[in-house]
Amino acid sequence: MGSYYLLNKKNMKKNLFYLFALICSMSLFTACSDDDDEVSPWAGTYKMADYTATDYKWTEEETMKNWPVTSALYTDWQFTGDDNYPEFISALLRYLGGSILPQALNSITLDKSGSIMADYVASPEIALDPNSIMSIFFTGAFPTASEIKATFATSGFTTSPKDLAYWSERNGKFTVKLNIPAILTAATGADASGMADIIDEVLSGNPATVKALLGGLLNVDLSGIQDATISQILSWAKDGIPMNIKTADNGHTYIYLDKSAFDNLFTLRDTGETDDWGDPVSVNDLILLWNALVEGGIVPEEAQAAGMFIQMIGGYWSVTTSFNLGLDLVR
């Protein structure tokens, strides 16, 4: 088994990260089935929403140019207090998701049988200048919609097999179950079907054991992550990811996770340490997990800057009343 993971390790890690990111995106494109001959109203082929922007009076003193209005990423963040910075972070998320996703993903087909297929770029070269993010802060302007859309993939797509992810609908919740052996096979090029029992055993393990196992594989320390967070992730991997769906007034389809899905991940807690200025240091589980994936070489270099947004969101989680994050789709 050791040679299985060591073979072409660097490329395998990068491909695995992008494939899991793709499948998690695909997971938001779900259909419903009652195990009969009726065709779900959600079945069909979807494109991501067009990237649009406008000048927006964000505060009484400041108008942001090219403020993202719609993109491939759907965000809705409701909060209390006078500080409206979460609104700005939401716009940044729409900018990032709307810039990156269309460079890798072309369309999703919701098969009436319950399978999910995607047309995607197998090994995308993501174009996103980290300096553009800092430029937004300093200039008060996002890149124009035409600049962003110029990087979108228009050809060279691969169609995914049917067996990477499945959907089901129960009581208004869309649950997507990932076929992890099939995903590993697609990512590595080696048949991982024989690992199904091992994978199931890992997913059924207790959080402390799983943290030790994954920490050993990545050569990182995961002990600081709460058991509740690990249990939630294991449940998603084993039993499926529960999501929400609605049709917006503009006719777009939003498929998303709500605040309850993120509470374990984003809630800050004190570490008992202080920074160089004597202020208490706080962390959340998602930043600990993200930093571990970066340290373990799983997250590609071009995506690593996303960690700062995790910390920023955590800083406002205590005043968050509603938080929806997912995909904005057009049939």
Least confident of 1-15, 66-80, 141-155: 1-15
Least confident of 114-123, 163-172, 251-260: 163-172
Backbone angles phi, psi at 164, to 5 degrees: -80, -30
Kindly indicate the confidence band of residue 307, based on its pLDDT and cuts at 50, 70 and 90.
confident
Calpha distance 248→326 (Å, rounded)? 13
Give me the chain's average pLDDT, please: 83
Name which residue leads in pLDDT, 264 or 166.
264
Backbone angles phi, psi at 296, to 5 degrees: -80, 0
pLDDT single digits (tens) 214-239: 888 778 888 899 999 999 999 998 88
Map tokens 């992008």 to a residue: 18
The yes-or-no verdict on residue 172 having pLDDT over 70 is no
Confidence (pLDDT) at 257: 94
Mapping DSSP onto H, E and C, the string for the chain reads: CHHHHHCCHHHHHHHHHHHHHHHHHHCCCCCCCCCCCCCCCCCEEEEECCCEEEEEECCCCCEEEEEEEECCEEEEEEECCCCCHHHHHHHHHHHHHHHHHHHHEEEEEECCCCEEEEEECCCCCCCCCHHHHHHHHHHCECCCHHHHHCCCCCCCCEECCHHHEEEEEECCEEEEEECHHHHHHHHHCCCCHHHHHHHHHHHCCCHHHHHHHHHHHHCCCCCCCCHHHHHHHHHHHHHCEEEEEEECCCCCEEEEECHHHHHHHHCCEEEEEECCCCCEEEECHHHHHHHHHHHCCCCCHHHHHHHHHHHHHHHCHHHEEEEEEEEEEEC
Strand 116-120 to 105-110 pairing: antiparallel
Which residue, 137, 101, 104, 134, is CA-closest to 119? 104
% of residues, the chain, pLDDT over 70: 87
Kindly indicate the confidence band of residue 282, based on its pLDDT and cuts at 50, 70 and 90.
confident
Least confident of 19-33, 223-237, 290-304: 19-33
Confidence (pLDDT) at 302: 64
Confidence (pLDDT) at 59: 85
pLDDT single digits (tens) 240-279: 999 988 889 999 989 899 999 999 999 999 877 877 787 7
Kindly indicate the confidence band of residue 132, based on its pLDDT and cuts at 50, 70 and 90.
confident
Confidence (pLDDT) at 163: 83
pLDDT single digits (tens) 32-73: 444 445 667 777 889 999 999 999 998 888 899 999 999 999
Name which residue leads in pLDDT, 230 or 182.
230
Confidence (pLDDT) at 26: 47
- 167: β partners: 176
pLDDT single digits (tens) 89-103: 999 999 999 999 999
The yes-or-no verdict on residue 203 having pLDDT over 70 is yes
Calpha distance 309→93 (Å, rounded)? 8
Amino acid in the structure at residue 98: G
Confidence (pLDDT) at 259: 96
